[in-house]
Amino acid sequence: MIKKIIKPKKIFPFLVAFFSFDLYIGGVIGYFLTKFYDQKIYGKKIKKLGLKLDSILIPLGKYRLHLHHWMYPLCLFLGAAIFKISFLFSPFIFGFFCGIIIHDLVWDRDRFKILRKGS
């Protein structure tokens, strides 16, 4: 009997690399550049200045729409699809922005708290 089962999350990057190496490289670069920026540049600047930055909140009646970082590339993709901007759908660029989205979905604690009660 097999004691260890290979988990899909460990096999997924290899499948992406097998089907499209450009997509894979773009995703890896996007993920690690976002991680580097988040930890080494953005975090240190905010600490050094002693600031606490508030999130972007858009009022919607009794609620507020919280714009997370992973939503920016998603909106860019939607805009590119609506306005038919084809260069954003090259495998490398698509992978790069997907890497940003994946980083933010993995590391942001309140990633799915999009609608909040207004004050």
Q: What is the pTM of this model?
A: 0.70
Domain ranges for the chain, please list them.
8-117
For residue 21, give Cα distances in angstroms to 25, 26, 35, 92: 6, 8, 21, 8
3-state class (DSSP) for residue 57? strand
Please report which confidence band the pLDDT of residue 85 belongs to, taking 50, 70 and 90 as the band edges. confident
Q: pLDDT tens-digit profile of 17-76?
A: 778 889 889 989 999 998 888 777 766 666 666 666 666 788 888 888 888 778 888 888
